Amino acid sequence: MLDFDLVIPTRIYFGKNKIDRLAEEIEKYPNKILFAYGKESIKKNGIYTKVIEILNENDVSFVELGGIPPNPTLYYVQKGIELCRKNDLQFILAVGGGSVIDCSKAIAAGVRYEGDVWDFYLQTAKIKDALPIGTILTIVASGSETNEGSVLINESTQLKLLVLNDLLRPKFAIMDPTYTFTVSKKLTAAGVADIFSHILEIYFCPEKNTYLQDRLLEGLFKTCIKFGIIAVNEPNNYEARANLMWTSSLALNGFVLSGKIGDWASHMIGHELSAMYGITHGIGLAIITPYWMEYTLNETTLDKYVDFAKNVWEAKGDNKIEIAKHGIAKTKDFLKSLELPTTLREMGIQESELEKVAKKVVNLGDIGEIVKLNEAKVLNILRNAYGGK
Amino acid sequence: MLDFDLVIPTRIYFGKNKIDRLAEEIEKYPNKILFAYGKESIKKNGIYTKVIEILNENDVSFVELGGIPPNPTLYYVQKGIELCRKNDLQFILAVGGGSVIDCSKAIAAGVRYEGDVWDFYLQTAKIKDALPIGTILTIVASGSETNEGSVLINESTQLKLLVLNDLLRPKFAIMDPTYTFTVSKKLTAAGVADIFSHILEIYFCPEKNTYLQDRLLEGLFKTCIKFGIIAVNEPNNYEARANLMWTSSLALNGFVLSGKIGDWASHMIGHELSAMYGITHGIGLAIITPYWMEYTLNETTLDKYVDFAKNVWEAKGDNKIEIAKHGIAKTKDFLKSLELPTTLREMGIQESELEKVAKKVVNLGDIGEIVKLNEAKVLNILRNAYGGK
């Protein structure tokens, strides 16, 4: 087990009607806030009205930053920073999924920094202060509601990068599974693929002494698989939505990562597909993950693939290679059952562009931990994932 | 999944030499502190000297409360409260295992309360304020280093009771697995039995929709079993000590309990055995747990026992009753392999006293959740656990 430091101070309110706890949380902070949200969905399902009602009842004045898109860009962050500075806003309430929350985290850090917020993502500056933020989760996948990460796209350089800092951990997270009933089938499926990928990226780690963490991760895998399929087919199934919601937080809040390091190569590739072509994060991962697995199955990783196949997919037998391949095939079947695209060709990308993608993916250096991938190797995976005619 | 609220703000430093982080933590708090510890072991293994060195280097003045025994009593709590008040101490550094930490939590709450600290344990008063505390873990089992609980014995009434309050969560926990290398074989085994029991008490829960939590708990079970046996036989095995240390925290810090309720009947019985006869907590649990399992296996609990046997002990077959019994038999074998006592008779208790024990166990009402146990039922379990001649 690797050494680690961990703190998860986010106060979690999980269950039906937990929005009723918003008032007691919001009153702990200054009463001039930024209310950040995404597209129209929270207006349609009533969450928007409910939040405004609670803010008004508690004499909280707010400025709205709506319309934050999936794969948020620096543009919205700068807009948010300006709004906060101009109106002296001291708290951010982020209502949405990973995109809204990650964008809000960037704003929170940017307000308290004189330079360009993108410095944090380029790792040329370190976050030393940030506005407090609170979250109300409406789309499940990123785990951003309780973690220290923020992913952002710089539209001018077409780079999508991650920053991690404990100052970005939300102060509270209101997690009502019924709030996700109205998420579309496609976005639900993309979220499931994203959660699956988070678990997988942490599972496949070069450190070998990770017995405890791997058993926990196998529990998360099983939950994601079982309830992922149910949620896609029965959007109002509370247990499925609740299990996915809590799994997505636990996968990325540090609890199962502590003592390990993640691989994150598939995420790095997926991020560039989002930055360059606007591909929904979970869909990019659903396409790339099986090809990353096939490419990284080798003598060194074999035992890990065998564990995965046996403990997650209940593979039997003695031939390690066959067992490992069975695990990969089952993963493909699972992602296919979510009815997501399975090739880059389907996404309308030109095959001739793959070299450009590979170059961007390794922009900050080789990627991956369990298997190091340089530009040529990334290109190989992209070509395999492109799909036949 | 049941609704839940959760916050785990304890800052965790896990790994070799993490004591080096003590200085940066301790400087966040007032520099007049209570330094609480148990018997002589921390003086023998050098931890005591190291702590004093760091306190001195950082100009922290301290008053010592040493000698806190296993199964701490109100006597030590009152002594600690007096020391804090008399010397205006504003922080408690607890160096030890569950007994030292639980005692320190009681002191922390008691200092800021005019009445009798026992009120909190009788649930006749609620903790509204407490001194901040920090922990350095040297004995693994209780999970107290990162949780909100404190268990205490009132020696005059021979009751051992629990209080839960988020104000009791330590501010930091320094968890260096090498600090547990010198824990005796017997105490290590008792700790393993205690951890196993914590996982079991949460696993056996009347709420049925707990898929995610149960898969995580099965991961904790497997880790506890695998590394429990190794740690007992190879005290200096770092991986075994590290896996047990992190498992013990995760079992009781709220992560796997969130969405469930625990049963805790075995603990209630075990607590009285400690209060009345000074039986080491983990040893009491090792004796009681298998008999609690046999007694509570019925039509309602059968499926849970089958899950347990299949997913933890890899039981096969179609006959549910047989599978369930196999899981219980494997649990007995496991506890026996730790070389702990298996009957109450071995502990020198008179059979004629069991009625008195049962009466005390239900002092505050019937116990258990998955199966409610009244005095007669508790007596039955105690008689079964007494053992033949």
Instruction: Determine contact, residues A131/A104, Cβ cutoff 8 Å.
Output: no
Taking CB atoms and an 8 Å cutoff, what residues of chain B touch A3? 14-16, 18
Instruction: Determine contact, residues A138/A96, Cβ cutoff 8 Å.
Output: yes
Cα gap B205→B264, rounded to integer Å = 10
Q: Do B14 and A259 touch (CB under 8 A)?
A: yes
Contacts of A55 (CB under 8 A, 6+ apart): A26, A33, A35, A62, A93
Domain B184-386, CATH 1.10.1670.40 — does that match?
Answer: no
Cα gap B103→B71, rounded to integer Å = 9
Tell me if chain A has a CB within 8 Å of the CB of B261: no
Q: Which among B228, B6, B30 is positioned nearest to A253, based on CA atoms?
A: B6
Q: What is the least distance, in Å, from the CA of A310 to any CA of chain B?
A: 13
Q: Count other Cβ atoms within 10 Å, centred on residue A236.
A: 11
Q: Which among B251, B238, B244 is positioned nearest to B226, based on CA atoms?
A: B244
Taking CB atoms and an 8 Å cutoff, what residues of chain B touch A237? none
Q: Which among B204, B383, B182, B180 is positioned nearest to B309, based on CA atoms?
A: B204
Instruction: Determine contact, residues B365/B385, Cβ cutoff 8 Å.
Output: no
Q: How many residues does chain A have?
A: 389
Predicted pLDDT of residue B37: 97
Instruction: Determine contact, residues B166/B5, Cβ cutoff 8 Å.
Output: no
Tell me if chain B has a CB within 8 Å of the CB of A203: no
Predicted-assembly ipTM surpassing the 0.90 threshold: yes
Predicted pLDDT of residue B364: 86
Q: Which among A191, A187, A216 is positioned nearest to A202, based on CA atoms?
A: A216
Nearest Cβ partner for A12 among B7, B13, B226: B7
> For an interface test with B, which of A17, A212, A260 has the most B Cβ atoms less than 10 Å from its Cβ?
A212
Nearest Cβ partner for A212 among B11, B212, B219: B219
Cα gap B202→B270, rounded to integer Å = 16
Taking CB atoms and an 8 Å cutoff, what residues of chain B touch A259? 14, 242, 246
3-state secondary structure A298-334: CCCCHHHHHHHHHHHHCCCCCCHHHHHHHHHHHHHHH
For residues A145, A146, A148 and A149, what is the CA-based torsion angle, rounded to 10 degrees?
A: -40
Taking CB atoms and an 8 Å cutoff, what residues of chain A touch B260? none
Predicted pLDDT of residue B40: 84
Beta bridge partners of B309: none
Taking CB atoms and an 8 Å cutoff, what residues of chain B touch A169? none
- The amino acid at residue B244 is L
Taking CB atoms and an 8 Å cutoff, what residues of chain A touch B15? 2-4
**Tokens 């993502």 belong to which residue?**
A121
Q: Do A14 and B3 touch (CB under 8 A)?
A: yes
Q: What is the least distance, in Å, from the CA of A255 to any CA of chain B?
A: 9
Q: Count other Cβ atoms within 10 Å, centred on residue B270.
A: 28
Predicted pLDDT of residue A389: 64
pLDDT per position as a tens digit, B213-260: 999 999 999 999 999 999 999 999 999 999 999 999 999 999 999 999
**H-state helical runs in A61-175:** 74-87, 98-111, 118-121
Contacts of B13 (CB under 8 A, 6+ apart): A5, B21, B172, B173, B174, B175
Tell me if chain A has a CB within 8 Å of the CB of B28: no
Mean pLDDT in chain B?
96
Report CA B164 to chain centroid distance, whole Å.
13
Q: Which among A96, A58, A97, A102 is positioned nearest to A80, based on CA atoms?
A: A102
Radius of gyration of the CA atoms of chain B, in A: 20
DSSP line for A163-211: EE-GGGS-SEEEE-GGGGTTS-HHHHHHHHHHHHHHHHHHHS-S-S--H
Using CB atoms within 10 A of its CB, is residue B257 exposed (0-12), middle (13-18) or buried (19+)?
buried
Q: Count other Cβ atoms within 10 Å, centred on residue A300.
A: 11
pTM recorded for the entire structure: 0.96
Q: What is the least distance, in Å, from the CA of B309 to any CA of chain A?
A: 16
CA angle A354, A356, A357 (to 5 degrees): 65
Q: Which among B317, B312, B364 is positioned nearest to B334, based on CA atoms?
A: B312
Report CA B337 to chain centroid distance, whole Å.
21
Q: Which among A221, A249, A6 is positioned nearest to A142, based on CA atoms?
A: A249
Beta bridge partners of A135: A94, A173
Q: Which among A38, A11, A54 is positioned nearest to A97, based on CA atoms?
A: A38
Taking CB atoms and an 8 Å cutoff, what residues of chain B touch A173? none
Q: What is the least distance, in Å, from the CA of A249 to any CA of chain B?
A: 11
Q: Are strands A91-96 and B133-137 parallel, antiparallel or unpaired?
A: unpaired
Tell me if chain A has a CB within 8 Å of the CB of B376: no
Tell me if chain A has a CB within 8 Å of the CB of B258: yes
Give me the residue spans of the domains in chain A: 11-179, 184-386
CATH architecture of A11-179: 3-Layer(aba) Sandwich (3.40)
Using CB atoms within 10 A of its CB, is residue A66 exposed (0-12), middle (13-18) or buried (19+)?
middle
DSSP line for B309-368: HHHHH----S-HHHHHHHHHHHHHHHHHHTT---SSGGGT--GGGHHHHHHHHTTTS-B-
Residues of chain A with pLDDT under 70: 389
Predicted pLDDT of residue A364: 86
**DSSP 3-state helix, strand, coil percentages of chain B (rounded to 5)?**
55, 15, 35
Q: Do A5 and B16 touch (CB under 8 A)?
A: no
Cα gap A178→A18, rounded to integer Å = 10
Q: Long-range CB contacts (< 8 A, 24+ apart) of A57-61? A: A57/A23, A58/A23, A58/A26, A58/A27, A58/A31, A59/A31, A60/A26, A60/A31, A60/A32, A60/A33, A61/A31, A61/A32, A61/A33
Integer CA distances (angstroms), A389 to A86, A291, A345, A383, in order: 53, 17, 8, 13
Q: Are strands A172-175 and B4-14 parallel, antiparallel or unpaired?
A: unpaired
Tell me if chain A has a CB within 8 Å of the CB of B212: yes
Q: Do A215 and B220 touch (CB under 8 A)?
A: yes
Nearest Cβ partner for A3 among B11, B15, B259: B15
Tell me if chain A has a CB within 8 Å of the CB of B61: no
Cα gap A248→A246, rounded to integer Å = 5
Predicted pLDDT of residue B389: 64
| Tokens coding B44 | 């023998």
Cα gap B209→B315, rounded to integer Å = 22
Q: Do B219 and A209 touch (CB under 8 A)?
A: no
Which residue is closest to A223 within chain B, CA to CA?
B212
Beta bridge partners of A134: A93, A172
Q: Count other Cβ atoms within 10 Å, centred on residue A67.
A: 12
pLDDT over 70 at B206, yes or no: yes
Contacts of B187 (CB under 8 A, 6+ apart): B139, B280, B282
Integer CA distances (angstroms), A156 to A74, A103, A115, A160, B388, in order: 9, 17, 17, 11, 80
Sign of CA dihedral A28, A30, A36, A40: positive
Q: Do A7 and B4 touch (CB under 8 A)?
A: no
Q: Do A13 and B7 touch (CB under 8 A)?
A: no
Cα gap A336→A132, rounded to integer Å = 40
Q: What is the least distance, in Å, from the CA of A1 to any CA of chain B?
A: 7
Tell me if chain A has a CB within 8 Å of the CB of B243: yes
Taking CB atoms and an 8 Å cutoff, what residues of chain B touch A307? none
| Tokens coding A230 | 């149910």
Tell me if chain A has a CB within 8 Å of the CB of B345: no
H or E stretch covering A224: helix A211-233
**Tokens 């995976």 belong to which residue?**
A381
Contacts of A284 (CB under 8 A, 6+ apart): A269, A270, A271, A273, A274
